[in-house]
A and B are shown apart, each in its own frame.
Chain A
Amino acid sequence: MRYLLLALALSLTSHAATWQECRGLEKHGKDATACYTQLTHTSDPALRAEGFWGLENYQQANAEFRDAVASPSSGAAVRVRWGLLFHERFNNPEAVNLFNEALAKDPNYAPAFYGLALVSADGFDGRAPQYIAKALTLDPKSAESRELAADMAFENSDFDTAIKEADQAIALAPDALDAMAIHAALELLNDRSPDAWLAKITAINPKYGEGYARIGYHMVQNRRYADGVSYYRKAVEVQPRLWSAHAQLGINLMRLGQQDEPEKELQLAYDNGYRDAATVNSLRLLDSYKNFQTFTDDTTILKLNKKEAELLQPYFSAELHRAMAAYEKKYQMKLKGPVQLEVYPDHEDFAVRTMGMPGLGALGVTFGQVVAMDSPSGRKPGEFHWASTLRHELSHVYVLSATNHRVPRWFTEGLAVHEETQASPEWGDRVTPEILIAIRDKKLLPVAELDRGFIYPQYPAQVIVSYFQGGSICDYIGERWGEGKLLEIVHAYAKLTPTPEVIQTTLGVSAEQFDKDYMTWLDKQLGEVVRNFDPWRKQLTELAQHAKSKDYAFVLANGEKVKALYPQYIGDANAYQMIADAQLAGGNKQAAAKVLVEYEKMGGHEPATLKQLATLEAEAGDKAAAAATLDRLNYVYPTGDEELHRRLGTLFLDLKSYDGAVREYSAVVALHPIDVAGAQYNLAQAYMAKGDRAKAEEAVLAALEAAPGYRPAQTLLLQLHNGGAPAQPKTN
């Protein structure tokens, strides 16, 4: 009512409006055009800026703020307002500069900390909680800051704090619509009706689409993608000019595997000036879909970039089906529709897919039954194990489906990490130095609070550490209670049971006791390595120095001892490789192979090292081992490596594994090699050995088309046409 009277007053009198009053009108669903227009006619450039901002004339608003700040008497307030304009118009770096300038003017200016928190929260920056805490310390009565604090606590799965902050905001300002939206989101997340809170919002502002958009956002962050989409739809329905919601609707529809409607929504947002990075990049990504080839069967939709589709399809398709079969058996369920897997050779395209999602520099991301991941070609050779990543993401698909998207982040991530090593003990990540340091420094979180280690990290490695901890908790449960318990936990979470209760009911121990028992178990697993960490670091450095100066005697005398201190270390400059090099320098190939096999079994998958091992194995006459070693690299870096596929094809041919030989030689052909004739001839040989004369002829003709005078290929062609028996395969 207060705002209705104000609107009336503005229209009838020459009352000088404040920007807060104009914003208030808008917040209450009233037309604030007259109010903002009035501001544009004032003599104060800061007020004019507010007027133009309200009228969506952002350029002019920017110019007015510039004038306002140029005045020697301008203070922190105008800088913060200008910073907020920059934030709204997708320029966070400038916004941060202005918030910092404001703090230079007034180090205790709470709104500047609010601004910094807002920007940090955008990127899930761990400093965001500190900034908002500071803002609230300086101004505990800021409803706006309370709402932001509630929002961030919600993101961090700290729902008690979220509700507490939201209630405080409402107590401070009965029209704290975003706080009400937080309440509604929590109701929805708990499968309760949000209608009471939505009615409160509607009573204040029936056109408040931002409330619905906020609910949609939190649904998406909690992996409730379909619910997220439906709330973004409501947002644009009640507030059709809420372009940010149109953009998010488009982005989240894309995440559900759609193309036409997302394009329409994103284009609408873009055409109306909403051109943040997510909107622009998503439109670009949609445009790039023409470069993708789709392979569809009853249960899968595989999208590969055309430039590598022929090469990757056999590997990805086989692994996708293998993983799905394993999960169907383990989770005793079949998915309702096909799984869509998108593989991006350009990491930037993949990043667009994940934009706005928390997590570490992700390799893959799952949205319901749509999985997007980096192609092995999108990273440096050996940088990631794509099959392990795929296994991880598919675990999410099944867990999200089994729980109807009601599962805490720590558990779905932990289980996915656990599943990587269930597929093969060599897959998954080994414990890294930063994890050992976190264990040593007692930074692991209680299981009931583990979700908080994923969103706003309190130290740089916390997200990685939380992934590890989630995975190792699942390892522990699987080892102590059996893998079946993990499935019981999945079902318990599906009923929205809180973690302490899940632990108690499924495992029969309290969450506190579980934490103690887990730490005891973890100490048995890694305690010694954790205690060895500092000596290991010192001794590895020393070993590396001696290895560099080719002091192989020292390396051989000390390498094993260093390796034993932290055997899981397979990263750069690892002891395995140094010992192998020293053994090779001394001519002891057998010993070099032995240590490299240890490296391989420990999960080492650096392509050059494994190729070196395969060479040693082949030289020792163990072609089967050499083939197995090289075949591991197909799960790591099958792209851009003709040599790998050629060598493996030859080994498979020698081992009379003709299907394998055909697959590998086909991979060479798919890589569009320089030596087309040689590649096609090898493929022809494999087909011939397999007994597929038609395919052999096709390949040998391709070889001779490239090099008509190629004698071995000519011989094979003659043999095919004379009906002769296959000759002993000879590889090129």
Chain B
Amino acid sequence: MKRIVPGLLLAVASLRCHAAVYYITVAGLGGEPDYEQRFTANAKDLDKVYHGAAAAHVVTLTGNDATRAKLTEALNDVTRNAKPEDDVVLILIGHGSFDGEEYKFNLVGPDLSATELATLLDKIPAKRQLVVNTTSASGGSVVALQHPGRAVITATKTGTEKNATVFARYWLQAMQDPAADTDKSGSVSAMEAFVYADRKTADFYSSQKRLATEHPVFEDTGKGEAVRTIAQGSREGALLSTLTVLRLDGGNAAIANDPAHQALLAKKEELERKIDQLKYEKAAMEPGEYKQALTAALLELAKVQQEMEK
């Protein structure tokens, strides 16, 4: 899902082609065998997805390894190794609690509060971080975790939504289902994954005729309230849209970096802008006129892309 103009996106993609992504996934304390099994399975499946996508830095903590000490150690390890241009993706699965002031992630042994987690994350030099807190009451962690350059997604809108959540299941599904890549860019952005998981979560409650007890939100400006959708003219969502959580096809960095293709890239960029502009003006255009102009632009873009891949 593109939230910035194509030229800027391309520039970001070019700059980031050598950046690494550090994935940390934690399945917290289940409490009951059913939950334990479900949380662990989700975390292990995510681990499999990351390794399947040839990710280099993957740490997954489940069962007895899901302790505050091990999580701290994993985050400190990222602090030691990550560079500013790298990305960090932290996924918390399990139960959380919120007492009105402090959110805590339930772990084996002592829990970890959102404030303590934020302190650990603050030390990591990577300038772009994503925390996906899928636990119950996770909405209570937003304020403590929000920070410039850090996008926070939570399964619940507040700390008072305390029932066990299903959001993690659908976040995982977003990593497994090519349909989550809605702009067909060959990668799933954090925003695409959020939209996918949010929709599937809502569908779950609706189809089961159950009152929804979780309402996923995100906050990626480092300040302000977490939101459910991007409001017109809002800055929310910009970071999530450019944060890639999974690359499906290895990307096209080689093409992007090839000087021989620079002219074609510029042409492609121009056409993409033109298409965006057409879509923006669609309501004001005659349908026939719109279709004709769109077809022409899309055909030209298809030819440019075909040329680039020769």
Contact = CB atoms under 8 A, between A and B. Distances in A.
A718 B196 contact: no
21 contacts: A674-B195, A674-B199, A677-B182, A678-B178, A678-B179, A678-B182, A701-B291, A704-B302, A706-B183, A707-B182, A708-B271, A708-B272, A708-B298, A708-B301, A709-B185, A709-B272, A711-B305, A714-B301, A717-B295, A718-B299, A718-B303
Interface string B276-310: 00010000000000010011001101110110000
Contacts of B185: 707, 709
Contact of B302 (A675, A697, A717): A717
Interface in A697-730: 697, 701, 704-711, 713-715, 717-718, 721
* Shortest 9 CB-CB contacts between residues of A and residues of B: A714-B302, A675-B179, A710-B184, A707-B184, A704-B298, A707-B183, A708-B275, A640-B207, A718-B302
A379 B207 CA distance: 8
Contacts of B114: none
A715 B301 CA distance: 11
B73 interface: no
B262 interface: no
B182 A381 contact: no
A34 interface: no
A678 B181 CA distance: 9
Contact of B299 (A377, A673, A710, A721): A721
Contacts of B275: 705, 708
B203 interface: yes
B208 interface: yes
Contact-size category for B: 20 to 34
B18 interface: no
Given A707-B184, A711-B184, A673 B306 contact: no
A642 B294 CA distance: 28
B180 interface: yes
Contacts of A732: 178-179
Contacts of B279: 705
Nearest to B271: A708
A676 interface: yes
B216 to A, nearest CB: 14
Given A673-B179, A721-B299, 19 more contacts: A379-B209, A380-B209, A640-B207, A674-B196, A676-B182, A678-B179, A701-B291, A705-B275, A707-B184, A708-B272, A708-B275, A709-B185, A714-B301, A714-B305, A715-B306, A717-B295, A717-B299, A718-B299, A732-B178
Interface of B: 178-185, 195-196, 199, 203, 206-209, 271-272, 275, 279, 291, 294-295, 298-299, 301-303, 305-306
A709 B195 CA distance: 20
A500 to B, nearest CB: 45
B301 A709 contact: yes
B298 A717 contact: yes
Contacts of B295: 697, 701, 717
Contacts of A673: 179
A714 B209 contact: no
Contacts of B272: 708-709
B77 to A, nearest CB: 35
Contacts of B305: 709, 711, 714
A714 B298 contact: yes
Contacts of A697: 295
Interface string A53-97: 000000000000000000000000000000000000000000000
A12 B272 CA distance: 95
A710 B303 CA distance: 12
Nearest to A711: B305
A677 B298 contact: no
Contacts of B199: 674
Nearest to A676: B182
